Structure 1
Amino acid sequence: MSAAKPSALIRYTALRLLIFVGCFLAAGVAVHFGLVPAGLGGSNVVWVILLGLLLSAPLSYVLLRRQRDEMSEQIVSTVDRTKARLDANRTREDAVQ
């Protein structure tokens, strides 16, 4: 992993956050102009956050498929390297005993 290229996990998380912020802003505008009903009492912000989450989840699932696959491959690769290192250490310990 080079220093110039951000990890797949960071890139995926940043893109998810950007999609959520965009959906949050869109939901806020829709509530402000009465296109979507406002929350009850003082729960307007919570309502807009929930709407943003509800809108961003399926968008992220569809739009970030490639980034999610890259992240998954990176995680699997890291786990495999860690398992190999643990097996090598275990083999060395068995050889010493």
Structure 2
Amino acid sequence: MPADNKTADKPEVQDAPGTADAATATESETLAAGAAVAVAKHATMRYATLRIGIFIVSLAVLWGLVAATGHIVTGNGVLYLAMGALLISGVASFFLLSRQRDAMSAQVTRRTDRLADRFEANAAMEDED
């Protein structure tokens, strides 16, 4: 007789094939969905922050290039550097931030759809009177 009588009296139950995998898959799908919601929730803020970051980096690079030539940036030179950095960051963000731009677009579309539905529901309530 085994030393542990509690386990000896109970029949051994085996999981159905794939049950553990299904539970793990469901849990991972839930986590992935939660992560997608979290990412989509702040898509506009993330895109704007990355655009500003790319602009600052391009401005710093341009400023460094000008400083490396021995020139001091003053007056209108600052404006020209800012315009150049804006142009460079715009082109770079077009290619680098397409995924974030798509997420932001989806977020804005969902929000406008909800607002339009709410507006139509309010208009329908007024018509019922």
- Pairwise TM-score range, normalised by the shorter structure: 0.7 to 0.9
Matching residue of 1:32? 67
Aligned to 1:45, which of 68, 72, 78?
Answer: 78
Aligned partner (choices 49, 57, 66) of residue 22 of structure 1? 57
The letter for the 1-side match of 2:120 is D
Which blocks of at least 5 consecutive residues in structure 2 are unaligned?
A: 1-36
Amino acid at match of 2:43: A
- Residues 20 and 53, structure 1, Cα contact 8 Å, conserved in 2: yes
Question: Could you tell me the percent identity over the aligned residues?
Answer: 33
Structure 1: stretches of 5+ with no match in the other structure: none
On the 8 A contact 2:51/2:93 being kept in 1, the answer is yes
Q: TM-score, normalised by structure 1?
A: 0.84
Q: Which has the higher contact order (CA 8 A, sep 6+)?
A: 1
Is the contact made by 1:31 and 1:48 (CA closer than 8 Å) also made in structure 2? no
Cα RMSD for the two superposed structures:
2.5
Matched, 1:13 2:48: yes
Q: How many residues align?
A: 94
**Which segments of structure 1 move beyond 6 Å, counting only runs of 4 or more?**
2-5, 38-41
Task: State the TM-score, normalized to the length of structure 2.
Answer: 0.65
